[in-house]
Amino acid sequence: MIVCFAVSLLAVVWPMGASWADGGGYSTGAYSELEANETYWDKISDWFATAGMSEEEKAVIKSRRRAMRKYSDSQKAVLRKKKEIIKKKRQALEKLRNKENSGND
C-alpha cells in the first residue's frame, strides 16, 4: 500500500515540479486545442507510433493521428445528438398519443 501511495503521489507531484522548474509553468498559449484534449493514452500511443523517426516525420504522423481522433470524436458527438433527438421525438410522440387516448375516453 505504501508503494501504491508513493507512486500515486509522485504522479500528482511530478507535473507540478516540472512546471516549477521552468519558472512558473506553461502559458495558456503553449497548449493548442488538440494537445490540451489529449489523454495520456493518446500521448503514449503517439510516442510508440513515432519512435525512432525524424522530427519532421513525427510532426506529420502526430498531426494526422490528432486529426483522426478529432474526426472520430466529432462523429461520436453527432451520433450522440442523433440518438438524443430520436429519444426526444419518441417521448413527444408518446405524450401526444397519451393525450389523444385520454381525450377519447
Q: Please give the single-letter amino acid code of residue 71.
A: Y
pLDDT > 50? residue 20:
no
pLDDT the model gives residue 21: 45
- Reported pTM: 0.53
Encode pLDDT of 75-89 as tens digits: 999 999 999 999 999
Q: Where are the domains of the chain?
A: 38-105
User: When comparing pLDDT for 74 and 24, which is higher?
Assistant: 74
Secondary structure (DSSP) of 69-83: HHHHHHHHHHHHHHH
Residue 8 — very low, low, confident or very high, per pLDDT cuts 50/70/90?
confident
Closest C-alpha among 62, 65, 66 to residue 54 = 62
